[in-house]
A and B are shown apart, each in its own frame.
Chain A
């Protein structure tokens, strides 16, 4: 079974509808992230969470909200979807930030992605 799962994998919706994308992980990581990818661009950070009580906005949080229901679950909501939110959405997880300063690595592991189309 995959360590990071996303549901749904594909979704087509209409402008103005509320949409929730869900992410679950079995890696036991504390940190979770939501990114979006537009054609021809790299991924951009929407929101991230260090633990259940810690939620932070990323580069492009406008129009999105998140919920960290448990260590293993992190949901992304579009309260009123609009066409320019059509994109590929990725969830990612990482362990504690034992990065360069600590001599470690804090690799982010990605889910398979959710392809969202807003008509």
Chain B
């Protein structure tokens, strides 16, 4: 069974600083996808970034980048130049691809509560 571990329950960061949110995963399957979602206090789940297990380069989306270290099974999210609006819960998730093309949903970590201070 797959597992996602986020070891930082909470983080305080000064505005404009870069932030790294840790995520490690465990799976024996070679084909998988890694996702990061943001959940602000309003509750919705907002997709941020995706990394496929066969991708050669780290994914980037605007201020978000994913530091993918496959051998270490880590997929840390990096937010550059943090803003007050980045304050939220952040969830790392993984989807393992079942042979034959099936999908069994996402496995989520417990999240990191990020607070950006002015």
Question: When the two chains form the complex, which single residue of B4, B54, B103, B111 contacts A103, counting CB atoms closer than 8 Å?
Answer: B54
User: In the complex, which residues of chain A have a beta carbon less than 8 angstroms from the beta carbon of B44?
Assistant: 110, 112-113
Count residues of chain B with CB under 8 A from any CB of chain A: 30
Known pairs A43-B91, A97-B97, A113-B44; A103 contacts B106 (CB<8 A) = no
User: In the complex, which residues of chain A have a beta carbon less than 8 angstroms from the beta carbon of B103?
Assistant: 31, 48, 50, 94, 97, 99, 106
Residue of A48, A99, A110 ringed by the most chain B CB atoms within 10 A: A99
Known pairs A103-B54, A105-B33; A97 contacts B102 (CB<8 A) = yes
Interface digits, B6-47 against A, CB 8 Å rule (1 contact, 0 not)? 000000000000000000000000011101010000011101
Question: When the two chains form the complex, which single residue of B33, B106, B110, B111 contacts A100, counting CB atoms closer than 8 Å?
Answer: B33
What's the interface size class on A, roughly? 20 to 34
Alpha-carbon gap, A58 to B97, bound state (A): 15
Known pairs A101-B31, A106-B33, A112-B43; A43 contacts B104 (CB<8 A) = no
Alpha-carbon gap, A115 to B44, bound state (A): 11
Alpha-carbon gap, A100 to B51, bound state (A): 8
User: Would A100 and B105 count as touching, CB distance under 8 A?
Assistant: no
B53 CB-CB contact with A under 8 Å: yes
Known pairs A99-B95, A99-B97; A48 contacts B110 (CB<8 A) = no
User: Would B105 and A45 count as touching, CB distance under 8 A?
Assistant: yes
Alpha-carbon gap, A104 to B97, bound state (A): 12
Residue of B4, B33, B107, B109 ringed by the most chain A CB atoms within 10 A: B33
Interface digits, A89-119 against B, CB 8 Å rule (1 contact, 0 not)? 0101010010111011111111011010000
Alpha-carbon gap, A88 to B111, bound state (A): 15
Question: When the two chains form the complex, which single residue of A45, A88, A109 contacts B104, counting CB atoms closer than 8 Å?
Answer: A45
Residue of B32, B53, B54, B105 ringed by the most chain A CB atoms within 10 A: B105
Known pairs A103-B52, A109-B47; A42 contacts B93 (CB<8 A) = yes
User: Would A100 and B31 count as touching, CB distance under 8 A?
Assistant: yes
14 A/B residue pairs, CB under 8 Å, sorted by A: A35-B105, A42-B110, A97-B103, A100-B32, A100-B53, A101-B31, A104-B52, A106-B33, A106-B95, A107-B35, A108-B47, A108-B105, A108-B106, A110-B45
